[in-house]
Every structure is written in C-alpha cells, then in structure tokens.
Structure 1
C-alpha cells in the first residue's frame, strides 16, 4: 500500500494512471479482455467540484465508482492509484474499504427511486450509514438530517423524514438522497447523473440545492453527466472523456467558452438540427378531440384537443405527470378515453387497440424512450426488425432479411449489424434499431415518446437528424413527446404544452414559444439550462423577484 503523499497542501483526491478493464462475451466467440479506462489522471481539491462529461461508454461512471474502489458489473480496476487524502484506497483490504464507503466517500445515483427501500421511512434510510459507521449518535444524526432537509429546500424539514419514498416527488427524493450522502459529513461525494431523470423545472431546484449544499459543507464532489450546460452551473473544472481517455481538462470557463479540442467544441455546439416550421398548419391529418381519460377513478386528461398536419411534427412538452405519455396511450388505443375521439386521415379510430384493424395499426407506430426495455435481448437485430415485416407484409426468409438490410441502411447503421444482439449495441444504435422497427411497418404517423432523453447530446443529435431526414424523404408525420425545449425548437412545426392533464398552450412553434406566456410555459422556458456561467444564479434570482412580487 502506498504511503500518504507528504504535503500539507495536497489535493483531497489524486487519481494517477487509472486503468479499468472488463471481459466481453460476444455470442459465438471466445471471451476477450477490453480496457474501459485507459490511464486517466486528475486531482480534486477540498471544497471543489470536478465535472466528468462525455458520451455513453466514455468511462465517466466507471471512474466515479473507482473513487469508492468499486468496479461495477464485472468491471475490474487493473492499474493506477486512487489516493484519498494521500492514502491509496485501492490497496485497502475489504474491511478498510468498508470504512471508506458511506463514511469518507458517498455516492448519489441517477435514480433515487431505485435506491430507497419503499418499506422504510426516509429518515431511517438517510441516517443509516452515519449510524452504521458510528459517526454520530441517533439524535445527532437526526438533527443533521433535519438541517440538511432545510438546506436542500425540502418541505417541512422537521417532519419530512417521516414520509415513505412513494409519498414524495422525484425531485424531492433526489434531494433526500443528497441528504443521505451529506449526513455522514464525507470528504467526497460522487454525483452520478443526479438530475438526468428529472424534468427541467425540477432539475433547477435540485441543481441549486446540490450547489448550495456543497458550498456550505465544503465537501468535494465529482459530478458525472452528459449535459455540459448542467455541469457548467456547478463545476469548478471539467474533464471531457471519450473512449476511456481524457480529451480535455480545464476550468469550466475555458471548456465552455474556448475549448481546444474538436470533440469538446462539438459538445458545446450540439443541436445542429434546425427545422423551419411549416407555414400552413390547418390540415387535420391526425386529430384528438375533447379527450378526457382516467386511470381507474383518477382523472388524468381533461378536455384535450389537438391536431397534426400531414408530414409535420407536433411536439408535446411538459413535466412528468403532465399527461404527455397518457395522451400517446390514448392515441395508440392502449388506454380508451372516457370521452372524446381519435381521428386519423378522416376516420374515427376505435378507442381500444384490440378493435383496430391491422391497417389502422400499421399506419401508426411508436418509438419508446427506453430502447433497452422495448427489445427482446434474446433476439438479434434482424429478428427484432423482421417481426413487423412478417406481421404486416408476410415477409419471411431471404426476402425478410433483404428488407431488414435495406432498413439498416436507411438508419445509417449498415447490414453488418443484422446478426448482433441488443447487448452488443450502444444506446444510440439501439434507438436506431427501434426506429427501423417502426419504419418496417411503412407508417404514416410515428409517435416518439422521449426517444432521445436517455442519450448523450451528440448521439441524440444524430437521432434527430435521422428522424428529420426520414420525414423529408417519406412524408412522415411525428408526434414528439419531450420535456426538452431545445429539441422542440429544433424539430417542431407546432407545439402543445401540457400541465396537470390540461392543454395550456397549442399552436405553431413560432407562436407557442413567443410571449406573452402563461405562468407555466414561462417557467418551463426559463428552466432550460444555458451554456454559460452564472445562468443558474440568474434563474434563481428571477424566481425570487417574481415570488416577492406575487
């Protein structure tokens, strides 16, 4: 084990030539060793935040977990040093590392919902690690937790911990997880995509809470994300990673205002897609009229009416729980409305999927948010895309394989992927396969339910370019469900803003995204992170002024 580095002003965390590997098991081939992280080095001082940014597979989370001396999912740290306050934690035994995790180094994951036990109250879970490591008495730990709940802007801090996880919102649960990480008073916290799964309005509150907590506690942090605009609001320095290697490492202002590397410049200037809205939008190729819908006794949609012209894109935007995806379920017949009609090309569709004809089903397809869960992992790409070809066109054998190859060419992947399994594809490739599966039915309308929200910006941009190109070539109509206003500006002809099951704004993009705004649309537009320093503080200041005025 390395001796602590001899210096009074040494950084809290020193990573030196870190190498991390894994074993790949390709179907039909012998196992092979792969290197995920290739000699990464950096320092992190006390009270500072280092942002780790890059696309999927860049090694961000793998490096973050190495700060806990942990390799996830068969990943193994194969070389280098991770020094915490001068001590190489990679050389600690099992007992030694248990004393580090949850005490000196804590971890905040992307999905707080998956990290809390639904059967236990929040307070018991927030103070658990603090008590287990003997860092405070039960009364002291509870007092710390209540203080942190207040610091993180959680409602009724004194009693908030009495709630169960299902009794709070996603944003509140994410802040509760941050409180859990801060409660042991650690030296370092690893934030792994802590706001990626949140709506932009909720993301602002969580970002502000995290930044404030770090400043007031003096804890150092690694902040892992694929969103450069987000990390620019909280990080002192940013390290850009790609394929397990460092592309660029500098202070935040340098990275966002004057990057040296082409890849970094691509990240800064992402969203190259630009779509000019159609001048004429009166055509009602697809229409939903007076839709009211409920889940059991709970009303979800309230008198929603909107339409999509042929060959155009309607973006439906709003936060979680606004009714966006429920509207898609009604459109596809997965949820029958209580009242209202769904009309397609002049024809009123049966409200339930099982009563729709094969032709009606063929003409309307859907692309889901999580391509992973929408595919059978035991089927090859050829089988996944081939299924609708067999169902709608009766294609089998060589004819089916030939058509699958054509579709793979259309989505710019190529026929070499036809025999691969989903596990062998990147996130962007999986989403392209999902698009090819939808295209296989030769639809007229495709409903895209957050198809890029789980993707890195550059990969997402490629998917948007593909979709807009296919629209031009084939005259496709899209309903694009999203909470990302940048995507709305990039691809939409018309915009529908949903809030608590109601349509609060609908019309051509140029009108819907121009003032005067209703209060909710104004909040939504102001919550989209901008790639500049000080943006978060400006937004919070504006909110405080508006709150005081009201």
Structure 2
C-alpha cells in the first residue's frame, strides 16, 4: 500500500453460503482510493456494488463470507481485526449512508439524538459539544432551521431532508471514508440536486474520501473522480470520470450509456369517453389538505404520467383513485359510473378493474408466500377461479412477464432479484384482469437495464390488452419514454396537464421549468453549472 492510499483492496472474493450452496458474489476485485478521492461504483442489479461497498468497511451481510483477499484501511488489514476493533472503526473512521434514510432512522427518537449518539458513546465529544457540531453540520448541508431541526422526529421531515441528515450523521465523527449507497435513488429531481449539492460540498470541504454506489450514470458523473464498472461481481473497466463518460472501452459499459433509448409504441388517441375520471377531487390527511381540486382523465390503451417532487400529491392522487384515501369532495368515475370514495364501499367488480403496483416490491410481496400463491390469490378473489385454475393463471402470467413457471412458481420473494420481484408485482396486478393499473414509482429503485425491461413489459401489456396506466414517477426520462399524457403536481394542485408533447414543450410555468432543469445530464460539470446558475454554494 502506498502512502497516499487510504483504502486498498486486493483480490477480494466474497461468497454467499445458504443451504449448503455456495455462490460467488465478488470475484477478485481490486480497489485503490486516495485521501479525498471519490470512486463511483456502477453496474446493474446483482453486480455486487453494495456488497463491495460494505466490504470496504470489513463488513458482510448475513450469509456472506469474505473468502479471499485483503482490505487495508490506512495500512491495516481489516480482516485481521476482531469484532470489537471493527466496531470501533465503523462510524468513526469509516461511515455508511444507506439508500433509504427513512428505514435507517429510528422513528421513536428525535433526529438530533440519533445524529449525536455515536460521538457521545465513543467519548469523542460531550453531549453539548456533539449538539453544537450537529447544528453546524445541519447548516452545512442546508437543512432548514438548523438549531431546531434536531428536535424533529423522522416522520416530520421530507425524504431529502432525511438523506441530508444522514449525511450529517455520517460526518459528525469526521471519518476518513464514507460509503454512499444509492443515497438519491428514491428522490425526486429537485430534492436530488439538494442532496447531491450537500454531499459534494461536505466531501470536498472536509477532504473526505468516498465510495459512491449508484446505477444513475448522470449522477455519478457529477460526484466521482473515477468510475469502476461492475458486472456479475467482476470489474469490467475503470477510468477517470471524464474519460469514462466520453469513451467507455467495453461493450457492456457502452450498453449502460445507451440504455434509455426505449420509447413506447403508439397507442390509441384520447378520443371518446374516458375509462376513468378524477373530477374536482379534494383530499385531506387529518387537517392537512393534500389534494386541491384535481381533475384528470384516463383512457384505454394510454398512459397518464403524474410527476412532481416529494409531497406534491402524486401518490395521494393514486390512493384517491383506488379508494385507499377517501376524498373529501369531488368524485371518481369508472366507465361512467361514480365510485364510492372508499374502497370499502365499492363493488368487487369495481375493485377488480383498478389494481396497483407498489414502489417497493420488497415490502409489497408476502415473504411467506410462494410466487405462485402471490399471483394466484387475486385470480381466486376476483375471478372466482378454483385453486388449480388460479395456479394455471399464475403460470400463464409468469410466461407473459418472461419468468419460466417451472423455475419461479414455487420460489419465495427472498430468492428473487429486485427486477424479478417487480415483475411478480406486475403479474399479481394483472391476475384480476384489470382495466386500469396504477404504477407507483415501479422503476425508481431499479438499475437502468432492469428498469428498461420493466418499461418494455408494461408497453407490451398495454399493446396486447389495451390496459390504461396511471404512472407515478419523479423520473422525467421515464415520462418521455412511456407517457401519452402528463399531469404535473405541485403542493396538491395540478399546475400543468395535457398530451406529453404539449406539456413538455415551452413556454413553461416556473415549476415545470424547475423540474425539467433539474434532470441530471450525462456530462461532467452539469451539477456545478446548476449550482452556479441557482446561486447555491458548493466547492467544486
């Protein structure tokens, strides 16, 4: 290991061991990282990105074992440290920022107490010192009201604010290395810029080294000094960011660069009676108005994309359509018939006609049921099929989504990849033969190759079955790829609505212009240009 290298990994091999089976996850990968340097790790799902990032801390998830290789941090081989020594290192010298801050924070404790916990427990600071340091970091990552912010609970702040709070929590012990594991994947484009700006500033100002794991190529171009591409646990190539973006050497890397070429097939126009309407709907969470007089239409064979930042009312609109959140006023109709505000008051045939695919397949699928049972249940419930008939329906749908029934019918969700779980969620939604499917951010947590596969599958389903889709997303590239109509939401109101070509063509209202200007571009320096144009401060 050279003097300038903070982290050096050589010949790392990691195996997954379960039920007597051994699977190679990382296959002889090397990493060299200098003080203050940022390395981007990219690749599709299953490439080993997160496993490699965690291994940089000397850590593996349950069922995984480091079988070969050295992991040297400041010259010390982490594999030779006992568990107590490794725990002392983590959080202090090496920190980790998880993909989902909402899942990582304890909902029962205030944010300030969680951010200051490690330095106080490790006797690095007194509680008053840690409180002052937390406030300073909250200010540095541009959180609102830094002095009072730590008094809030996780549910009282936005997703983007939680991710910035987690970055502050990672920084409070002044670590030499931070592992960022997909920290902006689930964020809307405007919030993503806030988080990226905070990360970029704090890494540069403090001279902290970082490993930035992502499947978003435009994002990694703004953060990383070098990029390493992984596939099936092996390195494909590595280069400085500018060279990698300009001229990737390997075919696989070039395929990642060009994956967003998908565009949906032409479908029906919006003539005739709509399949479903949402008319002048107002909805509340308690006293808080979350939908304010919203009206949209959905037509057979067409996709309505609903876009906007976190808290704009996108998912609430879908919940009002499905009857999961009864509207305060207004109405929802299906085939010209007014639906009860709550799903509890709707007929079974009406429930059958509107199905939903949830954002997180991990939590939407019952871990104790097989794939066959998960897909068969709606066929039993809504179509009145016998159990053997419902399993025939499950096999038919597995064929449709490109998953071999003989291989997957009796598997459990824990045995599937992220993309496979989302395909099973799609099959479950189709099992009842709905006329309308609501897709709630169904590709936001997927890498671009898997996401493109999901979009193609949805397009195929729409072409063959004439299904109407409401597609909720914060990804405007996806909107351009799949939408026929677009509804732009902001603070519960509909600010722009119509055919895609009209909505995405200037002149724009100020909010739509902000959204469109916040979509990361595939070029180095884009974030710096945006920061400068908006008058934000970040050290390049």
Q: TM-score range by the shorter chain?
A: over 0.9
Matched, 1:533 2:524: yes
Structure 2 distance, partners of 1:400, 1:255, is 49
- Equivalences for 1:361-440 in 2 at 5 Å? 361-416=351-406, 417-440=408-431
Structure 2 distance, partners of 1:113, 1:418, is 32
Assess if the C-alpha contact under 8 Å between 2:279 and 2:294 holds in 1: yes
Matched, 1:21 2:15: yes
- SS of 1:114's equivalent in the other structure is helix
Shift of 1:279: 8.1
Superposed CA deviations along residues 85-140 of structure 1, whole A, max 9, x for unmatched, are 11111111233223311221111112223333344443333233223334345554
Shift of 1:211: 0.5
Assess if the C-alpha contact under 8 Å between 1:127 and 1:142 holds in 2: yes
- SS of 1:12's equivalent in the other structure is strand
What residue in structure 2 maps to residue 295 of structure 1? 285
- SS of 2:535's equivalent in the other structure is helix
Shift of 1:51: 0.8
Matched, 1:304 2:304: no
Structure 1 distance, partners of 2:191, 2:141, is 13
Structure 1 distance, partners of 2:186, 2:431, is 30
Shift of 1:544: 2.1
TM-score (norm 2): 0.94
TM-score (norm 1): 0.93
- 1:361–1:209: structure 2 CA closer, same or farther, 3 Å change rule? same
Structure 2 distance, partners of 1:456, 1:254, is 22
- SS of 1:495's equivalent in the other structure is strand
Which of 109, 112, 123 is the equivalent residue of 1:123?
112
User: Which segment is superposed worse, 16-25 or 531-540?
Assistant: 16-25
Structure 2 distance, partners of 1:312, 1:167, is 37
Shift of 1:471: 0.9
Assess if the C-alpha contact under 8 Å between 1:49 and 1:236 holds in 2: yes
Structure 1 distance, partners of 2:502, 2:266, is 11
- Equivalences for 1:145-224 in 2 at 5 Å? 145-224=134-213
- 1:350–1:201: structure 2 CA closer, same or farther, 3 Å change rule? same
Structure 1 distance, partners of 2:87, 2:215, is 29
Superposed CA deviations along residues 267-312 of structure 1, whole A, max 9, x for unmatched, are 1112232136668424322211111111233221111001022211
Which of 63, 66, 70 is the equivalent residue of 1:77?
66
Structure 2 distance, partners of 1:374, 1:14, is 39
Structure 1 distance, partners of 2:497, 2:103, is 35
Runs of 5+ unmatched residues, structure 2: none
Assess if the C-alpha contact under 8 Å between 2:40 and 2:214 holds in 1: yes
Structure 1 distance, partners of 2:481, 2:312, is 22
- SS of 1:401's equivalent in the other structure is helix
Runs of 5+ unmatched residues, structure 1: 26-30, 546-550
Assess if the C-alpha contact under 8 Å between 1:122 and 1:164 holds in 2: yes
Superposed CA deviations along residues 244-271 of structure 1, whole A, max 9, x for unmatched, are 1111111112222211122211211122
Matched, 1:322 2:312: yes
Shift of 1:463: 0.4
Assess if the C-alpha contact under 8 Å between 1:121 and 1:165 holds in 2: yes
What residue in structure 2 maps to residue 524 of structure 1? 515
- 1:143–1:341: structure 2 CA closer, same or farther, 3 Å change rule? closer
What residue in structure 1 maps to residue 6 of structure 2? 12
Assess if the C-alpha contact under 8 Å between 1:51 and 1:223 holds in 2: yes
Structure 1 distance, partners of 2:263, 2:86, is 50
Structure 2 distance, partners of 1:390, 1:312, is 28
- SS of 2:445's equivalent in the other structure is coil
- 1:185–1:513: structure 2 CA closer, same or farther, 3 Å change rule? same
- 1:370–1:116: structure 2 CA closer, same or farther, 3 Å change rule? closer
Structure 2 distance, partners of 1:281, 1:456, is 32
Which of 21, 29, 33 is the equivalent residue of 1:40?
29
What residue in structure 1 maps to residue 324 of structure 2? 334
- SS of 1:113's equivalent in the other structure is helix
Shift of 1:153: 1.6
Superposed CA deviations along residues 438-497 of structure 1, whole A, max 9, x for unmatched, are 222222211111111121111011000010111111111111111111111000000001
Shift of 1:158: 4.0
Assess if the C-alpha contact under 8 Å between 1:239 and 1:250 holds in 2: yes
User: Which segment is superposed worse, 161-170 or 78-87?
Assistant: 161-170
Shift of 1:382: 1.6
Structure 2 distance, partners of 1:373, 1:49, is 32
